[in-house]
């Protein structure tokens, strides 16, 4: 796999080059003939009077609450059903709600999934279900057909065990991302930190919990919570309220009402002092920083608008926000730094985040905390406040052009018992805010000394620098699903680096089987940026190699080495490979290089035990005769190589670049096990490969390596 990683490294450079073009915009201005005093900013005008579109609300006898937003501009209609229930704890079956929502659309007692899909396509409709209802839209002439379909799905679900198994398999496949994607890791652990695992918002879907999801549990959730008296149906489009009432009565009037469980949970508290949490991502060259804590922040509360404005000034307002201007524009630590103040009827949260280079992780955290403290301790400027008001006013006004916005306002007004004129007077309340109001809410919501400071990154390079941010001076370590782990695991005294390598060789088949191999041809399929790729890797004893990456008939990149000379060709032109790169290729083209480390002069060092993809692995430092370092990770149970990390200085890419390669799904081919799933990441680029075939001893001709 060394040779594959080498070519993919070069391919990544090509991709980065292609996507690094910058776009420039120009603007022209016209000079007015009027004389304007440009030393004075124009005074803000009075808040515009907002005319919120009308809606009508009514309730069926079974308790279903219906909201109708009439709009005849286009012959379209949409229906959205949403439950109004307390958060539901899923326990050891986390993922149940999502699975149930998806399962609803896979069949009814009278329709198969195929029939549902065919009927949806026939009328050109959009239809999707979720754990709290559905969304459906179509041309208004198909209203009755659409209602007949969606009401059948909600009232008569089949709950097929076969379909649930497919859903669970897709979920398990998607969970693999959570083990390698730093942002996914951060999202998981942040939820656990804010709410705790006993709160519904702190539950994490894992492989183990998905395996506990059954049809019986899906039926139980549906039976308990899918009740008309706990639901809102929002209708938007080409329909009158009277027509809507007749149709809703016809299709949902027989939906039986019933009692719905009430769920109560302890309110999560912010930490009494700041804590540092760390998730190790071996080989990472960037850290994902998240500063977060729970807050009580609900739509309609007295300081809701002021707090929203405060967050916009801090980090929610895009390019002009303080975090962006400081951490990106001034310091250059990141591509973007943002904050979020998220509302929720139960418990909301504050979060500030960015992805930064390893070397500036601690410096970036300093700036985050500084801006939070500045927001709390110092008043914002009148200019900042007015600019933010203008931005929000424009966004608010543009949103009113969409009927769905009116529907959302109507639903929130009914659901949260807001004053009927809450949104009609929204801009008046916004315009009345003062600098003092912003500082007052900042003092309430900004808690830089009571925050969870979460970092996902390379422990070896970053973790020790974070201790000063923890009030206790300690760092708490977590895995990618939010489980507490030890910061270090002792190495067994009897284990050496050579022992790990020898165990790997035995695990894949042993020296006897390896020595029988004279040549290998591996074919792979992958995709990047929507482009389907094919890769063929051919190697022959002792160190001949050919690797080509194609997209259909187009050769993206090709590299050949005949044991003495090497060349590369493709979309970036042709070139001869010489110098250190040639010497490196001479080594990495060896078949089963690990079996030749000693004879070729490699140095091996056993570094530590690290977690890779949820399992413990030995980390081995591999130093080539030229001094180049690679870090390989070997699963402690299987012995297989599961990850490899290599960093190189690449001037054309602007400095050092690290490629993380992951290997999984080892399968036996003529007595030797090869990984059949490979994934590589470099910066923000990710590439996954599926091995379609491995052929041994096909008597490859020397001529193909010329």
Domain CATH number, residue 615: 2.50.20.10
Q: 546, 560 in Cβ contact below 8 A?
A: yes
SS3 155: helix
Q: Please give the average per-residue pLDDT across 407-423, as a whole number.
A: 94
pLDDT tens, 54-106?
899 999 999 999 999 999 999 999 999 999 999 999 999 999 999 999 999 99
Does residue 260 form part of some domain? no
Q: Could you tell me which residues come within 8 angstroms of residue 37 by beta carbon, excluding any fewer than 6 positions away?
A: none
Does residue 642 form part of some domain? yes
Domain co-membership, 381 together with 355: yes
- Binning pLDDT at 50, 70 and 90, where does residue 25 land? very low
| Distance in angstroms (rounded) separating the CA atoms of residues 345 and 298 | 5
Q: Please give the average per-residue pLDDT across 134-146, as a whole number.
A: 98
Domain co-membership, 670 together with 602: yes
Residue among 295, 459, 475, 316 at smallest CA distance from 384: 316
Q: 285, 647 in Cβ contact below 8 A?
A: yes
- pLDDT value, residue 179: 76
Q: 672, 507 in Cβ contact below 8 A?
A: no
Q: Please give the average per-residue pLDDT across 39-52, as a whole number.
A: 59
> What total number of domains does the chain contain?
3
Whether residue 489 has pLDDT greater than 90? no
| Distance in angstroms (rounded) separating the CA atoms of residues 60 and 245 | 9
- pLDDT value, residue 43: 56
From 49-58, 323-332, 481-490, 546-555, the region with the lowest mean pLDDT: 49-58
Domain co-membership, 478 together with 498: no
Domain finish residue from 485, 519, 536: 485
- pLDDT value, residue 603: 97
Range of the domain at 424: 275-485
The CA-atom distances, in angstroms, between 308 and each of 4, 313, 320, 367, 596 are 50, 9, 15, 21, 62
Does residue 29 form part of some domain? no
Residue among 600, 599, 648, 597 at smallest CA distance from 620: 597
- pLDDT value, residue 486: 86
- pLDDT value, residue 150: 98
- pLDDT value, residue 672: 98
Does residue 101 form part of some domain? yes
Residue among 650, 664, 660 at smallest CA distance from 684: 660
SS3 32: coil
Q: Please give the average per-residue pLDDT across 141-164, as a whole number.
A: 98
DSSP assignment of 38-106 equals TTSPPPP-PPPPP-PPP-EEEE-TT--EEEEEE--SSSEEEEEEEE-------GGGTTHHHHHHHHHTT
Positive/negative CA dihedral, 269, 274, 280, 281? positive
- pLDDT value, residue 176: 74
Whether residue 49 has pLDDT greater than 70? no
From 224-233, 493-502, 652-661, 678-687, the region with the lowest mean pLDDT: 652-661
CATH at 150: 3.30.830.10
Query: pTM of this prediction?
Result: 0.83
From 143-152, 168-177, 370-379, 519-528, the region with the lowest mean pLDDT: 168-177
Domain co-membership, 281 together with 193: no
Domain co-membership, 301 together with 196: no
Domain co-membership, 497 together with 480: no
Does residue 26 form part of some domain? no
Whether residue 650 has pLDDT greater than 80? no
Domain co-membership, 216 together with 360: no
* Rama region for 100: left / alpha / beta (φ>0; ψ in -120 to 50; rest): alpha
Whether residue 660 has pLDDT greater than 70? yes
- pLDDT value, residue 22: 38
Q: Could you tell me which residues come within 8 angstroms of residue 392 by beta carbon, excluding any fewer than 6 positions away?
A: 308, 309, 312, 430
Q: 691, 674 in Cβ contact below 8 A?
A: yes
Domain co-membership, 614 together with 502: yes
DSSP assignment of 609-656 equals EEEETTEEEEEEEEE-TT--EEEEEEETTT--EEEEEEEEEEGGGTEE
Whether residue 23 has pLDDT greater than 50? no
- pLDDT value, residue 27: 37
Domain finish residue from 432, 466, 485: 485
Domain co-membership, 366 together with 284: yes
208 or 2, which is more confident: 208
- pLDDT value, residue 652: 56
- Binning pLDDT at 50, 70 and 90, where does residue 299 land? very high
Domain co-membership, 237 together with 332: no
Domain co-membership, 247 together with 357: no
Does residue 422 form part of some domain? yes
Counts for the chain of helices (H) and strands (E), in that order: 21, 26
Whether residue 46 has pLDDT greater than 70? no
Q: 274, 252 in Cβ contact below 8 A?
A: no
- pLDDT value, residue 444: 98
Q: Please give the average per-residue pLDDT across 108-136, as a whole number.
A: 97
Domain co-membership, 585 together with 652: yes
Whether residue 3 has pLDDT greater than 60? no
Does residue 317 form part of some domain? yes
Q: Please give the average per-residue pLDDT across 382-411, as a whole number.
A: 93
Q: 566, 560 in Cβ contact below 8 A?
A: yes
- Binning pLDDT at 50, 70 and 90, where does residue 17 land? very low
What does DSSP assign to residue 112? B
Q: Please give the average per-residue pLDDT across 147-159, as a whole number.
A: 98
| DSSP E strands, 309-376 | 337-342, 348-357
Positive/negative CA dihedral, 510, 516, 519, 521? negative
Residue among 193, 217, 189 at smallest CA distance from 98: 217
Domain finish residue from 194, 217, 252: 252
- Binning pLDDT at 50, 70 and 90, where does residue 33 land? very low
Does residue 232 form part of some domain? yes
The mean pLDDT of the chain is: 91
């Amino acid at each position: 796999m060394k040779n594959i990683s080498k070519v993919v490294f070069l391919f990544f450079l090509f991709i980065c080059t292609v996507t690094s073009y910058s776009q420039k915009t120009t603007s022209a201005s016209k000079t007015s003939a009027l004389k304007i005093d440009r030393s004075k900013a124009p005074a803000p005008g009075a808040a515009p009077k907002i005319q919120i579109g009308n809606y009508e609300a009514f309730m069926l006898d079974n308790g279903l609450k219906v909201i109708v937003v009439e709009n005849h501009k286009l012959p379209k209609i949409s229906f959205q059903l949403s439950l109004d229930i307390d958060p539901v704890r899923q326990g050891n079956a986390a993922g149940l709600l999502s699975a149930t929502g998806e399962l609803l659309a896979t069949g009814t007692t009278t329709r198969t999934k195929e029939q549902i899909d065919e009927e949806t396509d026939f009328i050109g409709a959009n239809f999707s279900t979720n754990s709290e209802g559905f969304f459906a839209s179509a041309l208004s002439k198909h209203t009755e057909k659409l209602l007949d379909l969606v009401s059948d799905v909600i009232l008569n679900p089949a709950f097929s065990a076969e379909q649930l198994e497919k859903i669970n398999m897709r979920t398990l496949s998607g969970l693999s991302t959570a083990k390698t994607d730093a942002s996914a890791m951060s999202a998981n652990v942040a939820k656990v930190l804010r709410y705790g695992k006993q709160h519904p918002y702190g539950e994490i879907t894992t492989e183990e919990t998905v395996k506990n999801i059954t049809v019986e549990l899906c039926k139980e959730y549906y039976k308990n919570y899918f009740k008309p008296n706990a639901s809102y149906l929002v209708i938007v489009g080409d329909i009158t309220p009277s027509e809507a009432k007749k149709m809703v009565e016809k299709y949902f009037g027989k939906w039986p009402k019933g009692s719905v469980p009430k769920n109560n949970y302890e309110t999560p508290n912010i930490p009494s002092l700041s804590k540092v949490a760390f998730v190790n991502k071996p080989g990472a060259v960037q850290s994902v920083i998240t500063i977060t804590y729970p807050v009580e922040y609900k739509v309609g509360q007295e300081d809701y608008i002021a707090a929203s404005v405060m967050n916009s000034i801090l980090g929610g307002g895009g390019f002009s926000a303080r975090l962006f201007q400081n951490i990106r524009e001034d310091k250059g630590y990141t591509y973007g730094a943002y904050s979020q103040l998220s509302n929720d009827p139960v418990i909301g949260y504050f979060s500030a985040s960015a992805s930064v280079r390893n070397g500036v992780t601690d410096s970036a955290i300093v700036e985050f905390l500084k801006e939070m403290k500045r927001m709390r301790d110092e008043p914002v400027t009148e200019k900042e406040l007015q600019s933010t008001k203008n931005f929000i006013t424009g966004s608010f006004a543009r949103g009113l052009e969409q009927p769905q916005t009116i529907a959302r306002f109507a639903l929130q007004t009914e659901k949260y018992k807001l004053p009927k004129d809450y949104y009609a007077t929204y801009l008046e309340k916004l315009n009345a805010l003062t600098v003092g109001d912003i500082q007052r809410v900042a003092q309430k919501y900004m808690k830089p000394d009571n925050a969870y400071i979460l970092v996902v990154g390379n422990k070896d390079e970053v973790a020790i620098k974070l201790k000063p941010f923890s009030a206790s001076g300690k760092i708490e370590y977590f895995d990618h699903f939010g489980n507490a782990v030890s910061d270090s695991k002792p190495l067994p005294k009897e284990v050496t680096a050579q022992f790990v390598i020898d165990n790997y060789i035995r695990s894949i088949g042993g020296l006897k089987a390896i020595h029988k191999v004279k040549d290998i041809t591996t074919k792979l399929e992958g995709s990047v940026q929507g482009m389907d790729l094919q890769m063929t890797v051919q190697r022959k004893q002792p160190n001949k190699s050919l690797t080509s990456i194609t997209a259909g008939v187009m050769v993206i990149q090709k590299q050949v080495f005949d044991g003495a000379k090497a060349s590369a060709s493709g979309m970036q032109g042709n070139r001869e490979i010489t110098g250190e790169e040639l010497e490196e290729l001479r080594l990495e083209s060896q078949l089963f290089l690990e079996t030749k480390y000693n004879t070729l002069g490699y140095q091996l060092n056993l570094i530590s035990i690290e977690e890779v993809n949820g399992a413990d692995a030995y980390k081995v430092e591999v130093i080539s005769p030229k001094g180049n370092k690679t870090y390989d990770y070997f699963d402690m149970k299987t012995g297989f190589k599961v990850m490899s990390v290599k960093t190189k200085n690449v001037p054309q890419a602007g400095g050092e670049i690290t490629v993380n390669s992951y290997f999984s799904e080892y399968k036996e081919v003529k007595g030797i096990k090869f990984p059949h799933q490979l994934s590589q990441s470099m910066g923000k680029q990710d590439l996954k490969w599926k091995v379609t075939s491995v052929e041994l001893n096909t008597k490859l001709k020397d001529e193909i390596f010329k």
